[in-house]
A and B are shown apart, each in its own frame.
Chain A
């Protein structure tokens, strides 16, 4: 069982560049989430999706975009990278809000 797979694991970007963080899950979960975790801080929700074609903003959506064309995939797009977006990004999924979330191992992103 692969669970939740995130790619890449590490990335360095220059200010103003764009990139897409990939997330895929093989558990047929309807709900998927993107979080960022800054050092010593709790996870902050960026965007979430309750099913294919449905997405909504979390606490800190500015500077990011998402899409959900399939149940399995939930990519996160950074259009104009800024130093404030340096963080560790986690993707998660579950069957619903009463179920535990399954997390990927994160993408460590540095913007210089």
Chain B
């Protein structure tokens, strides 16, 4: 079964600290993996997208890594800000059908002052 598991479910950190979110998947055949940020009451916004041959991708203070062999990805947030408080969603797309992406349930990050 094609699944995407994210951990932790929720996380609270202090402003200025770093954190790492995890994503494990069983989706196959693999096309790409994306990380999205979803603010409360808004639609998800793309942070990074990685294909099979890419093992790291950065977007400002966000750095995503991918290990396609172990089917694991992580999202590292550096020097967190209050505006980083959001849900972070891992999405894996199969290399078969354009419409078939599997979404994780997300990690809810709260950054406190």
Measured CB to CB, the residues of A under 8 A from B are 4, 31, 33, 35, 40-45, 48, 50, 56, 58, 90, 92, 96-106
Contact = CB atoms under 8 A, between A and B. Distances in A.
A44 B93 CA distance: 13
A106 B103 CA distance: 16
Interface stretch (B14-22, B44-52, B61-69, B71-79): B44-52
Contact of B89 (A42, A98, A102): A42
B100 A45 contact: yes
A106 B102 CA distance: 19
Contacts of A44: 103
B98 A96 contact: yes
A102 B32 CA distance: 16
A104 B45 CA distance: 9
A104 B98 contact: no
B46 to A, nearest CB: 3
Nearest to A47: B99
Given A42-B103, A42-B105, A98 B42 contact: no
B4 A97 contact: no
Given A98-B32, A98-B49, A100-B46, A58 B99 contact: yes
B105 A50 contact: no
A56 B49 CA distance: 24
B68 to A, nearest CB: 15
